Structure 1
Amino acid sequence: MKKLIILFCVFAFVKGYAQTGQDDTKVYKKRVLETTEVDFLTSYYSQDGDNAAVGGGIGTEELTDVTGTFVVSIPLNDDDVLTIDAGISAYTSASSSNIDPFDDGPADPFQASTGASSSDVWANLTGSYSHSSDDRNDIWSAKLAISSEYDYFSVGVGGTYSKLFNEKNTEVSVSGNVYLDTWNPIYPTELRPFGAGGDGLNNRLFTQNTITGNSNYNPRFKEFDSEGRNSYSLGFGFSQILHKNLQGSLALDFVQQDGLLSTPFQRVYFGDVADSFIDNFQLADAVERLPDSRFKVAAGGRLNWYINEVLTVRTFYRYYFDDWGINSHTASIELPIKITNKFTLYPSYRYYNQTAADYFNPYEAALSTDEFYTSDYDLSEYSANQYGFGVSYTDIFTKAHIWNYGLKSIDLKFYQYDRDTTFSSSIITAGFKFVLD
């Protein structure tokens, strides 16, 4: 009897231990994010050209911009991750300085002014939260974003749901975003006296300076009634592993914008109005006027082909159109080349072309009888080429440290962008990823 009792107890213990082990195995899951990660991103951007929108399609487009961004991803538990993205961007712009070109000597659209609008700082703070199901096949995320600069303030909310199935070989997603923006409209200096309550040609700008050309300067100007802009977007995504070395994805996005879609400080010159000047600067006939709604659609796809452990081919194509008359095509290719276990090179090329918006007119091509008009060359017909090169360093063992954070990767990239107009730009970016040991 004793032996039977002892045998029964041993059996019960072994069974209970086995069940506990099975239960532990059942509930065990890998954390979505093992430890806190910190990314520091920075860039230096410069551009130039001769078709400034502030100057009604003429004048310098010179601009430089420096940015710095911290992205901190914090695992709250096995399933949830909180991400904080904080960035700041400081620019100096010869183009926007000519919102007031009359503040420091002879005015000229191809020379920078030293006014307050010659520089500005943009700041952004975004918080996002994501949750993954126990089997990691369902992922929900939500975000809240705030950004501000001298004439603009924006608040945005958004969310995404992703579903993985077919042993995680297939993924579908849907996302939505809402941005509520508010302008603090700033108009070209010479137009402000013709707004509500202004003193017109009796303003000291005109009494202390000589108007040449058409001395009876009388612009077509009225302040915008609305100072808000709302943007709503809905996106769908589909990703499929086609082969162990081949992955493809498709995306479809819809955007609806309503409100003040014109830029208040961008001048327009009419071809049927006589020109008026102060110094070498032509006084604006009006500011840009565009419809108060815009609907955009973009459809595209990616195809990534892992050829071998040295070379991968990444391709992308997107078609875009909107109800302002713009149609565009974007195609790009990137060829990551792994030269060692830690270093990868990233040569790339991107091609873009678009048709002009229905309301675009170059300098002095718009008419005063038109309802809508702009001389912003971003809305013109053009083609562009972008060449890029980058290098990435990765150390999965994070041997280098700053305090308690190990350096996981460094990314450096350079891009040269050229349009078939006079516009060109270049950007250098750097990214550093740290993980908490």
Structure 2
Amino acid sequence: MKIFKTIGFTVTLLLFVTCYAQQEQDSIKTYKKRVLETTEVDFLTSYYGQSGDNAAVSGGIGTEELTDVTGTFVVSIPLSDDDVLTIDAGVSAYTSASSSNVDPFDGGQPADPFVASSGASSSDTWVNLSGSYSHSSDDRNTIVSGKLSVSSEYDYFSLGFGGGLTKLFNEKNTEVSVNANVYLDKWNSIYPSELRPFASGANGLANGFFSNKTITGDTNYSPIFDKFSDETRNSYSVGFGFSQILSKNLQGSLALDFVQQQGLLSTPFQRVYFADVADSFIENFQLADAIEQLPDSRFKVAVGGRLNWYVNETVVVRSFYRYYYDDWGISSHTASVEVPIKISDKFTIYPSYRYYQQTAADYFYGYEEALSTDTYYTSDYDLSEYSANQFGMGVSYTDIFTKAHIWKLGLKSIDLKFYKYDRDTTFSSSIITAGFKFVMD
């Protein structure tokens, strides 16, 4: 495939440029400014909450309530005049009424898609560790970078690696870049609890799971269910960037990205209900007719551009547009604008607005819209047709002299942001983020 040829070419080019940069460093022994003067430490944290009534875990109906708290440390270390090592470590802990209903029967209350179960699936922790290395040439017109990352949660493990090349021309007024990344993921598939007794063609109703439960509606419950034989997911991406200073007040950039995914692209614990199958219930919870089934490959293309206008020393306008397309039938448009306003030497506020609109995937069906004869189906409303608006407000504090200190770290900046997001469905969310940048004395 063309995308793999592109990745191979990119890796070869990165190796060539790395060797060239080393030779250049050995042959030129002149003074140069360090890429990063001193170690920088960023602490980032956020609180996220969402609500809605179209949970994919319960087949397009039920609560989507979720809260998530994250904390991340990013440490950038200058290894030499030209080399920087960046370590990024983060933890995310969430509680989810939606995912708790992977097993809605393990709590102390009657099972209901609009009520969170109190069982083990109601919360989880995600951890991530990544390291990146960048090398700049003596004239600072060439930057080569590499990255390695690993992340894990209760049902998912991911290993990623990649690299990039950036070239600056025209007295650094023009910049072009290329990057390539690979992610190798592994599911530890968790299935809806009522389907597990039917694995491998077993007679599920004879299983002990149903012995102390009463089925109402269609009592001859017989779902379509087989475990996934392949639990791997591989993602390959190539991105190209171009940036140009158009005038002393105007800068523009363009980006083109290609992503190829292969493997298990379905989410194993997301239920589907069919229009041509009679309904079965335990308590107030409808038993799954099947689980989400999606193709094992997906190709994505995104093209976008930014235009930043420096109005004056007080106001800057940052605009963005992106068009996205994939071979599942989704196309989308994203447009956003942010207006940083400097209100003093140290404080800046920045209101923002973002609009998003997408078409539905070919395989999306709402609650009880799919048929049992369909090959692919999902009731995940992230793949439905919708539009969304997001309003944001941020404030930043900057002290280039780092007068405030914690141990040997001087506080350089603080950023606080709030975003409110609403779809034209019942889904809405909000997030508060905070970032603190320190520099080592």
Partner AA of 1:344 in structure 2: T
Offset, 1:212: 0.4
The more displaced of 204-213 and 396-405 is 204-213
* Matching residue's letter, 1:367: L
* TM-score, normalization by structure 1: 0.94
The answer to whether the aligner puts 1:46 opposite 2:52 as a matched pair is: no
Cα distance, 1:103 vs. partner?
A: 1.4
- Structure 2 match to 1:59: 62
- Answer yes or no: is 1:221 the counterpart of 2:232: no
Q: CA deviation at 1:197?
A: 6.9
Q: Distance in 2 between matches of 1:272 and 1:76?
A: 64
Measured in 1, the distance between the counterparts of 2:199 and 2:395 equals: 53
Match of 1:315 among 319, 329, 338: 319
- Equivalent in 208, 212, 227 of residue 208 of structure 1: 212
Q: Could you say what secondary structure the match of 1:274 adopts?
A: coil
Question: In the alignment, is residue 154 of structure 1 matched against residue 161 of structure 2?
Answer: no
Asked if 1:126 corresponds to 2:130, the answer is yes
Question: Quick check: 1:368 aligned with 2:372?
Answer: yes
Residue 141 of structure 2 corresponds to residue 137 of structure 1: yes
Question: Which one of the candidate residues 404, 407, 431 is aligned to 1:403?
Answer: 407
Could you tell which deviates more after superposition, 214-223 or 189-198?
189-198
Shift of 1:196: 2.1
**How far apart are the structure 2 equivalents of 1:344 and 1:407?**
16
SS of alignment partner, residue 426 of structure 2: coil
Q: What is the match of residue 4 of structure 1?
A: none
Does structure 1 residue 112 correspond to structure 2 residue 129? no
For structure 2, the 5+ residue unaligned runs are 1-27
1:289 aligns with 2:293: yes
Of the candidates 377, 385, 393, which is equivalent to residue 389 of structure 1? 393
Calculate the aligned-residue CA RMSD, in Å.
0.9
Residues 144-293 of structure 1 aligned to structure 2 (within 5 Å):
144-196=148-200, 198-293=202-297
1:398 match: secondary structure: coil
Q: Distance in 1 between matches of 2:197 and 2:213?
A: 14
| Pairwise CA distance, 1:96 | 0.2
In structure 1, the residue matched to 2:23 is none
TM-score normalised per structure 2: 0.93
Q: 5+ residue gaps in structure 1?
A: 1-24
Of 414, 418, 421 in structure 1, the residue corresponding to residue 422 of structure 2 is 418
3-state DSSP class of the match of 2:195? helix
Larger radius of gyration: 1
* 1:41 partner letter: L
Q: Which amino acid aligns with 2:373?
A: T
Separation in 1, partners of 2:29, 2:335: 46
The one-letter code matched in structure 2 to 1:407 is L
Structure 1 residue 199: Cα displacement: 4.5
Describe the SS at the equivalent of 2:102: coil
What amino acid maps onto 1:342 in structure 2? K
1:348 aligns with 2:384: no
Contact 2:41–2:76, Cα closer than 8 Å, also in 1: yes
In 2: Cα distance, 1:176 partner to 1:314 partner:
26
Q: How many residues end up aligned between the 2 structures? A: 413
Superposed displacement of residue 26, structure 1:
6.8
| Residue pairs, 1:66-81, within 5 angstroms | 66-81=69-84
CA distance in 2, matches of 1:374, 1:255: 21
SS of corresponding position for 1:347: strand
- Output the CA distance in 1 between the equivalents of 2:180 and 2:204: 46
1:378 aligned counterpart, secondary structure:
helix
In structure 2, C-alpha distance between the alignment counterparts of 1:160 and 1:344, rounded to whole Å: 32
| Segment of structure 1 superposing worse, 103-112 or 297-306 | 103-112
Can you list the C-alpha shifts for 1:151-200, whole angstroms capped at 9, x where unaligned? 00000001010000100000000000000000000000000000027441
By how many angstroms is 1:213 displaced?
0.4
Matches of 1:103 and 1:69, distance apart in 2 = 33
Aligned-partner Cα distance in 1 for 2:410–2:365: 54
Q: Select which of 27, 32, 35 maps to 1:32.
A: 35
Deviation track 1:90-124 (CA, whole Å, cap 9, x = no partner) reads 00000000000011231000000011110000000
Q: Secondary structure at the match of 2:329?
A: coil
Q: Distance in 1 between matches of 2:392 and 2:117?
A: 33
Question: Which amino acid is 2:292 matched to?
Answer: E
Contact residue 215 and residue 281 of structure 2 kept, 8 A? yes
Tell me, yes or no, if structure 1 residue 103 matches structure 2 residue 106: yes
Tell me if structure 2 keeps the 8 A contact 1:192–1:198.
Answer: no
